[in-house]
Structure 1
Amino acid sequence: MRPKVSVVIPFYNCPYIEHALQSVLSQSWEPYEIIVVDDGSTVHTDLIRPYFPRIHYLGKSNGGTASALNHGILHATGDYVAWLSSDDLFYRDKINNQVLFMEQNNLFISYTNFNFINAQSQLVQMNASLLFPSHLDYLRCFLQGNPINGCTVMFKREVFGAIGFFDESLPYTHDYDLWYRAILNGYAPVMLNQSLTAYRNHEGMGTLKYYDVIMAEAAATNARYKGPLQHLISSMGG
């Protein structure tokens, strides 16, 4: 039976939401459901209304991206869950290629390469993800920072029962934290080296506005898991 894919889109006052929705609706592998979690938006909600017949809209009070993701995942019913930020885009074969990759390799979590685009959706950089010569090099990278773009990730929905959900106390590094927990529980994300997502750089993005805060939070997250990951790497001969 063809696997079902739920796409979860956290939304908060984002003027690019239409582009995100159109990219999901244009997939060659039609998603089973598109879940838009409105995290207490006060503007741009009118951009979502034309899509109501084709999406599941979940409104909630503002709690941050991790809260919105968890809310969407808990309501998802697909075999797989893909996360897309409301300012980014999926390329047409994103779901198709990633599901086939996961099915063929019996994976619980995968991620892909990606391209950078600008505010006008123009291509800025292709294949922006880091590549690693070995699995140990990949694991070592986490000791320095987060090498995975969250909006390229696809999960088997059942994996959240093993690794938990996004930590809602972390406004910015909830993804980094989850990758650490996935690795330490034997579910390390595996890369599909195809650029299937477009990541938008624009003036309103949080990674630019809150850079110093994000770096401090990332350092704290790294400190929390550094010891166990170093032990795992050593046990693998690294």
Structure 2
Amino acid sequence: MKKSNNPLVSIIIVVKNGEKFLQTAIESILNQSYKNYEIIVIDGNSIDKTPIIVQSYSQIRYFLQNSQGIANAYNQGIDEAKAELLTFLSCDDIWTYDKLKIQVDYMINNPKIQYVVGKVKFFLEERNLPPSGFKKELLEEDHIAKIMETLMVRKNVFEKIGKFNPEFLIAEDTDWFARCQDAKIPMKIIDKVFLYKRIHNNNASLNDPQYNQYILKILRESIHRKRKNLTDTKLCY
């Protein structure tokens, strides 16, 4: 069967009390040059105007989160996704207008590649100071970013390595990317800025004191997987 040159893309937004920046994020989707997409919003039971904002857009499929935690919210979005190509956007970030088009074209032309990421440009929200965990020099130039908001991934990758681990209350994406790398899932870094990432006082992971503990746990688990893979490889000979 011939592959479509205009495949559906599922865009997943996970949000809780994101009224301040949510509309700008959604508009950056609606302004995409690539138009064949669905938008899925998983709302962690917001008590602000988030539900009103989301439901004002007829294009959005809106769901209340049926569990707790960011990882479970992402997983719910994945389960609801109708497309084979999945992307993710945070409620306080902004995509470049050509993000979907460039990534879709690459995935069509390179069927062996299972996911792609790109570059990010950080910017500081007006009248905000960088959180204590943020390195100010990151504001000075573009950076390669293996993060959810620059990602486009084939849905079957989640079948191969699993979805996001709810054990990680933050850094769930770091764990997932580490599992992809350890499993040698074919990927590509596209040398293009796809994301403007807003830095502000309420950036969740940057303000969480447990972040470093989760990173250490992810590193330990990655080392364990690599050792197991090496042992299994030796046993095959």
How far off is 1:189 after superposition?
3.4
Aligned-partner Cα distance in 2 for 1:19–1:230:
45
Q: How does 1:131-210 map to 2 (within 5 A)?
A: 148-210=146-208
Choose the corresponding residue for 1:4, options 2, 8, 14.
Answer: 8
Tell me the matched-pair count. 214
Q: Please say if residues 147 and 174 of structure 2, whose CA atoms lie closer than 8 Å, have aligned partners that are also in contact.
A: no
Equivalent position of 2:100 in the other structure: 95
SS of residue matched to 2:56: helix
Aligned-partner Cα distance in 2 for 1:213–1:111:
26
Q: Please say if residues 7 and 36 of structure 2, whose CA atoms lie closer than 8 Å, have aligned partners that are also in contact.
A: no
How far off is 1:232 after superposition?
6.9
Choose the corresponding residue for 2:115, options 100, 109, 113.
Answer: 109
Moved over 6 A (4+): 230-233
Structure 2 unmatched ranges of 5 or more: 127-138
How far off is 1:188 after superposition?
4.5
Change (3 A) 1:103 1:125: farther
Q: Please say if residues 54 and 60 of structure 2, whose CA atoms lie closer than 8 Å, have aligned partners that are also in contact.
A: no
Q: Please say if residues 207 and 214 of structure 1, whose CA atoms lie closer than 8 Å, have aligned partners that are also in contact.
A: yes
TM-score (norm 1): 0.83
Aligned-partner Cα distance in 2 for 1:203–1:62:
26
Identity among equivalent positions (%) equals: 25
What is the one-letter code of the residue matched to 2:34?
W
How far off is 1:173 after superposition?
1.6
SS of residue matched to 2:72: helix
Equivalent position of 2:225 in the other structure: 228
Greater Cα shift, 183-192 or 156-165: 183-192
Greater Cα shift, 111-120 or 76-85: 111-120
Equivalent position of 2:129 in the other structure: none
Aligned-partner Cα distance in 2 for 1:68–1:188:
26
How far off is 1:148 after superposition?
1.6
Cα RMSD (Å) of the superposition? Answer: 2.2
SS of residue matched to 1:113: strand
How far off is 1:181 after superposition?
1.6
How far off is 1:4 after superposition?
1.1
**Radius of gyration: which is bigger?**
2
Equivalent position of 2:136 in the other structure: none
Equivalent position of 2:131 in the other structure: none
Aligned-partner Cα distance in 1 for 2:228–2:110:
26
TM-score (norm 2): 0.83
